[in-house]
Amino acid sequence: MQDFLLRERQGVISERLRLNGRVLATELAVEFGVSEDTVRRDLREMAAAGLCERVYGGALPISPAHGSLTQRIGLAVDRKQALARAAIPQIAAGSTVFFDAGSTNLAIANALPVELALTAATNAPAIAAALIDKPAVNVILIGGMVDRQTGGSLGAKALRDMEQLSPDLCILGACGVDLEAGITAFGFEDAEFKRYAASRSRKVLVAATSEKFGTAAPHSILPIAHCECLVVENDADPVILADYRERGCRTVVAEKMN
């Protein structure tokens, strides 16, 4: 296949991303009969247009996790509840847990048994409101300007508050999850806060719906090897999960919904 025009190349790249979930610049250069620099330029233009997310060596589909927290709360409710039920056994009684902003993390907070005693910190007012109704949970609300998109406090004040904590577990929100790209987020300040929260915590848990896997958002949070536990849906590919475990990330599969 030679002499592809720019629009034709980008159309083929989009189709490869849809079918394979990833493209490599080296392979595309051979297929198109152009230099790798030309392919990388194509990928940069597509990323700037929001058509893909560039990663080392190629590109991934862009994460579908768009929308405000209010919008995302109403999506895939049953699936998030199943993830929450699978995540609860990973939370030790008496521990200190940081709940990052996110609709799946809100589902986990709602699912906590009323008798489970712990100290919970969060930068998300919606999660704090859910936790305050749990009589055995002591709630610490991290302050600062609340970002409407994430539903959580971000910025200097939130970072200073987080500096006072050393959680046993960080339940981290994720926009994209990929073996190579790692855990990623759309917002620069959101990613910065998430990185710091994870670095302050003994363990990191990520619970994510299936459409986030094999996708990336623009800002890196941490590599897969730094995620101690990944909670996934029942339809997750066992072969792919084995790859995550090889990177040192334990996987927990949610029960199939009735």
Distances 124 to 59, 112, 131, 142 between C-alpha atoms, Å: 31, 16, 11, 8
Residue 41 domain boundaries: 6-60
Whether residues 220 and 98 share a domain: the answer is: yes
Map residue 112 onto helix, strand or coil: coil
- The tally of domains found in the chain comes to 2
With a cut of 90, say whether residue 7 has pLDDT above it: no
Q: Is residue 210 part of a domain?
A: yes
Q: Is residue 36 part of a domain?
A: yes
Q: pLDDT tens across 133-162, in order?
A: 999 999 999 999 999 889 999 999 999 999
Lowest mean pLDDT among 1-5, 191-195, 208-212, 213-217: 1-5
With a cut of 90, say whether residue 62 has pLDDT above it: no
Q: Is residue 13 part of a domain?
A: yes
What element of type H or E holds 53? Answer: strand 53-55
Q: Which two tokens stand for residue 6?
A: 């720019």
Give this prediction's pTM: 0.82
Q: Are 178 and 211 in contact (CB under 8 A)?
A: no
Whether residues 33 and 98 share a domain: the answer is: no
Q: Is residue 165 part of a domain?
A: yes
pLDDT at 132: 95
